[in-house]
Amino acid sequence: MKKGPPLFPGVVLLCGSLVLFCCGDPPPTTPDPYTGILRVAALDTLIIDSIRIELDDVMLGRFRNPHVLREVVIGIHRVLVSSTSSGAASRVVEVFRDRQTDLFVPLLAGGPYVGNVAPLFAARASNGDTVSIQRERGKAVFLIFFEHT
Partner 1 sequence: MIAAVNNTASESWLNSYRGQTGISYPMIFDTTSKIFQSYQVGPQYGNTPPTYVIIDPKGVVRYRVDDTFNRTPEIIETIRRVLKDP
Q: How far is the CB of 25 from partner 1 (least distance, A)?
A: 44
Q: How far apart are the first and last CA of the chain?
A: 103
The rounded Cα 70 to chain-centroid distance in angstroms is 9
Cβ proximity to partner 1: between 42 and 72 the closer is 42
List the one residue out of 79, 37, 35, 71 whose CA is nearest residue 55.
Answer: 79
Q: How far is the CB of 38 from partner 1 (least distance, A)?
A: 15
Task: Using CB under 8 A, list all residues that contact partner 1.
Answer: 78, 87-92, 104-106, 108, 111-119, 121, 123-127, 129, 131, 133, 136-149
| Other Cβ atoms closer than 10 A to 43 | 14
Q: How far is the CB of 57 from partner 1 (least distance, A)?
A: 18
d(CA 69, CA 86): 21
Cβ proximity to partner 1: between 34 and 121 the closer is 121
40 burial (CB, 10 Å; 0-12 / 13-18 / 19+) is: buried
Cβ proximity to partner 1: between 1 and 144 the closer is 144
Q: How far is the CB of 85 from partner 1 (least distance, A)?
A: 14
Cβ proximity to partner 1: between 75 and 106 the closer is 106
